[in-house]
Amino acid sequence: MYEIGDAELKAVAKVIESGQLFRYRGGEGGQCDQFEKELAEKIGCKYSLLVTSGTGALTAALVGCGYGPGDEVIVPAYTFMASALAVLAAGAIPVIAEIDESMTIDPRDAESKISDRTRAIMPVHMMGLPSNLNALKKITRANKIDIVEDACQAVGGSYKKKRLGTIGKAGAFSFNHFKIIACGEGGAVLTSDRKVYERALIQHDGGCAFRGHAGSMSEPIFTGFNMRASEILGAIMRGQLKRLDKILDRLRARKAAFVEVLRDGKGFSMAPVNCVDGDCGVTTAIQFESEERRVKAEAALKEAGIGGSSPINSGMHVYSNWKPVLEQRAAHHPKLNPFNLTDRKYEYSADMCPRTTDILSRTLFLNTVYGKTPAQHRSRAKQALKALGKV
């Protein structure tokens, strides 16, 4: 979260004063409904659905697409574990693919992992950096499988002028505290496919059969779960959405100023960005020839007060730390475990994606500082170059 304030405070106060915190049964046309309309319009898709988390949004998107036991979804080895958890929550199997230097899924490695059971590739636009969607589109089209985007960290970002989250069959945003726009905990499903939307809607609300909108559905109602958002979340998110353009403009202007100076540096390279205009501007990734040099550079930048951290140390964002996934304990009961619902055997290990481990360990993220000016970012980059020059 970069900004929150008076607008959200007032909106929340209004909801509380109204005494109507539930989005259905009287809340129709209220904050959640209006937010969904505004979000779909802004991002450029037919439907959006506000839910209580990004993991929930991803799960509802995958359920919406109809994936289940026996199906495989290819996820990158560098993403928050929730990408894999959502696949498992839908009953399907996450197949882990390497990333490339862009810090997003390597299309060629993803392609090599397609089997007769693959239903989708899930690109994850980590740190607001767009995945290589043109390459992925070619591959998924040729293999008649889907793209489902995890755009949890990339709200508002785009790829070749189309917003991230709307390029595949379905997409998901997260609005948890750490994301670009936020309400503490929340998420959204994005799709232009009516069937996917209806099934996601059913999944997100176990009480769906009782709703007024149940009658207008063409999909049969199954037992879903509950990840309904309250009017309070809807109200906060409407305020946050109004801030999105300004937040992205600020981040991008600051990153551009930072990169303009940093790109002249020696001894490291700028990580390639798949779509510079669409990048959210959250971070600048720089890469070294070895882990050893990255460690030294990190220490030098720390000493100079510039900061920076390596994604290899980002805990549950690195596949080798996804213990319950790697050990295939994927449900509270063995009979619900998707690994027991398929006749295929899967093998995971902490060293199955060595290229990803290598890239992560050679990379440093220098995050954009929201409160500092572009000029300050230029001088920060100069200081960084000085510190790196001594490594």
Q: What residues make contact with ligand PLP under the rule CB under 6 A? A: 53-55, 79-80, 82-83, 124, 150, 152-153, 174, 176, 187
Could you please report the per-residue DSSP string of 171-182?
Answer: EEEE-STTSSS-
| Residue number with CB closer to ligand PLP (79 or 361) | 79
CB of 152 to ligand PLP, least distance (A): 4
Query: Minimum Å distance from CB 256 to ligand PLP?
Result: 24
- Least distance in angstroms from the C-beta of 26 to ligand PLP: 27
Q: Are strands 158-159 and 162-163 parallel, antiparallel or unpaired?
A: antiparallel
Q: Closest distance between ligand PLP and the C-beta of residue 56, in Å?
A: 7
- Whole-Å CA distances, 62 to 68, 85, 177, 219, 375: 8, 11, 23, 15, 43
Q: Which is nearer to ligand PLP, 82 or 129 (CB)?
A: 82
CB nearer ligand PLP, residue 86 or residue 381: 86
Give me the least distance between CB of 173 and ligand PLP, in Å please.
9
Q: Which residues of 301-314 are buried (b: 16+ CB within 10 A; e: fewer)?
A: beebebebbbbbeb
C-beta closer to ligand PLP: residue 177 or 213 = 177
Choice between 159 and 268, CB closer to ligand PLP: 159
Q: What CA–CA distance (Å, rounded) separates 139 from 323? A: 30
Nearer to ligand PLP, 125 or 380 (CB): 125
- Structural tokens at position 159: 């790829």
By C-beta, is 146 or 150 nearer to ligand PLP?
150
Type of residue found at 53: S
Sequence-ordered alpha helix ranges (H) in the chain: 6-18, 31-43, 54-64, 82-89, 107-112, 133-143, 194-204, 231-262, 291-303, 323-326, 354-362, 374-389
CB of 344 to ligand PLP, least distance (A): 25
Q: Which amino acid is at 79?
A: T
Sequence-separated (6 or more) residues with CB below 8 Å from residue 169? 65, 120, 146, 147, 148, 191, 193, 196
Shortest Å, Cβ 86 to ligand PLP? 7
Taking each helix axis from N to C terminus, what angle separates 354-362 and 291-303, rounded to the nearest 10 degrees?
30
